Amino acid sequence: ATPTALMVGTGRGAQLGILIRGPEVLESTRRVDTIVLDKTGTVTAGRMTLAGITTAPGEDRDEVLRLAGALESASEHPIAQAITKAATERGAATERGGAAERGAGPGSAAGAGSVADAGSVAGLPGIEGFAGIEGLGVQGVVDGRAVLVGRPRLLAEASQHLPVELERAVAEALARGETAVAVGWDGKARAVLTVADVVKPTSAEAIARLKRLGLRPVLLTGDNQAVAENVAASVGVPVEDVIADVLPAGKVDVVKRLQAEGRVVAMAGDGVNDAAALAQADLGMAMGTGTDVAIEASDLTLVRGDLRVAADAIRLSRRTLRTIK
Ligand code: ADP
Ligand code: MG
C-alpha cells in the first residue's frame, strides 16, 4: 500500500464527514464483518424526554422532580438531562402559575417547588457529595436528604424496595418501550420516572446499508431488554443480536467474546461507558456528537453522528485499498 493512495482515502473521508486517526485504520475497516452498535446516543438520538411520573402513596410529585432534577444536574447522561430539564421547566411553571396550579388532577405535577434555592441549576437546590454509579444511576445529598436515582435494581440493592404501585409503573414503562428510573431518598423508594428516547431517523437506513455490505449488526446496551428489543425491531436488528442489561465494564467483554468467535468487530458508540469497548474493537467508531472520551478511544469519528456514514467509511476503505493493491 502506498502512503499517497492511503492519504487520498483519508482526504475523501474528511469530505464525507469521517475523521480517520491514521491511514493504517483503513486496513481494519476493510476487514470488519460485525458491527456492535451502542443504543443510546448512537442508534437513538439520546435526547430523552420525561414521559411520566408515578409516585408512591403519600409522595409529592414536585418534590420528587425537584430533588431528582437537582441531583441529575451533575450527570451528563441523557436520562439525567431529561430529568433536570423537566424539573427546571416545572419549577419555572410553578413560579409563574402560582396557586392556580395547585390541586390539579393526578396527571399534573402540581404543588410546592416555588422556592428557588441557590443551586447549580436555576430554581433547583444545590447538591453535596455527588457520585455517579456507572451504568446504574446517581447519588448525592440534596436539601439534607440522601437521594438515589437510577435503575430500579440500584434502589433494590440499596434496600429501597419498590412498593407495588411503583413496580407496576416499571412494568408498564417496559411494555411501552420506555426506560424506568426510580427515585428514592432516606432509605425509601419514592417514585418512578419514565423517560423515552427516539430512534434517529437515519438509523434504519444505516443498518440496512451495513447489512448490504455483509456486516452483522449487534445492538448493545446497558438499558433493559424490552426497550432494546423495541429499538432493534424498528431498525432491523434481529432479536437474537440484541445484548441488553450490560454494565459499562461488560461492553468490552462482549466485543472480546465476538472476537474470540473469530469475528472482526467494529463498534460504534458515543458514551464514556463505550470507551473501553471502542478501544478493544478492531475498528472503533465514535459519534462526533458524543463524549471526548469515546472520540479519543476510537479509530474513526463520524463527525455528524450519522450512522449512515459508518457504511460510507467501510465502502470507502474497501474501495481505497482495492485501488492500491
Ligand atoms: P447505554 O448503554 O444505553 O448508553 P448506560 O450504560 O449509560 O446506557 O446506562 C444504563 C442504564 O443505567 C440506563 O438505562 C439507566 O437506567 C441507568 N442510568 C445510568 N446513568 C443514569 C443517570 N444519571 N440517571 C438515571 N439512570 C441512569
Ligand atoms: Mg451511549
Most ligand 1 atoms within 8 A of CB, residue of 64, 79, 142, 181 to mutate: 79
Average pLDDT over residues 303-320: 89
Of the pLDDT bands very low, low, confident and very high (cuts 50, 70, 90), residue 248 is confident
Mean pLDDT of the chain: 87
The interface predicted TM-score (ipTM) is 0.92
How many angstroms does the Cα of residue 181 sit away from the middle of ligand 1? 9
pLDDT given at position 9: 60
160-187 residue pLDDT tens: 999 999 999 999 998 888 899 999 999 9
Q: Is 38 a known active-site residue?
A: yes
pLDDT tops 70 at residue 1? no
pLDDT given at position 111: 33
CATH of domain 3-45+199-324: 3.40.50.1000
Of the pLDDT bands very low, low, confident and very high (cuts 50, 70, 90), residue 97 is low
pLDDT given at position 114: 31
Q: Whose CA is nearest to atom 27 of ligand 1?
A: 137
Answering whether pTM is above 0.90, one says no
Output the DSSP codes for 70-118.
HHHTT--SHHHHHHHHHHHHHHHHHHHHGGGGTT--TTS--S------S
pLDDT given at position 268: 97
Where are any strands of DSSP class E within 110-205?
A: 127-133, 137-142, 145-150, 179-185, 188-196
How many angstroms does the Cα of residue 63 sit away from the middle of ligand 1? 22
What is the biggest distance separating any 2 CA atoms in the chain, rounded to whole angstroms? 75
Residue spans in the chain of domains classed CATH 3.40.50.1000 = 3-45+199-324
Average pLDDT over residues 1-14: 58
Most ligand 1 atoms within 8 A of CB, residue of 36, 223, 245, 251 to mutate: 223
How many angstroms does the Cα of residue 283 sit away from the middle of ligand 2? 17
Q: Which atom of ligand 1 is the closest one to the Cα of 270?
A: 4
Average pLDDT over residues 200-229: 95
181: Cβ below 6 Å to ligand 1? Answer: yes
Q: Of 301, 279, 270, 307, whose CA–CA distance to 10 is shortest?
A: 301
Average pLDDT over residues 21-42: 89
Counting DSSP H helices and E strands in the chain, the numbers are 12, 13
| 208 vs 103, higher pLDDT | 208
pLDDT given at position 28: 80
Of the pLDDT bands very low, low, confident and very high (cuts 50, 70, 90), residue 211 is very high
Among 39-53, 98-112, 285-299, the minimum mean pLDDT is found in 98-112
pLDDT given at position 234: 93
149: Cβ below 6 Å to ligand 1? Answer: yes
* CB-CB contact of 299 with 63 (8 Å): no
pLDDT given at position 176: 84
Residue spans in the chain of domains classed CATH 3.40.1110.10 = 49-196
CATH of domain 49-196: 3.40.1110.10
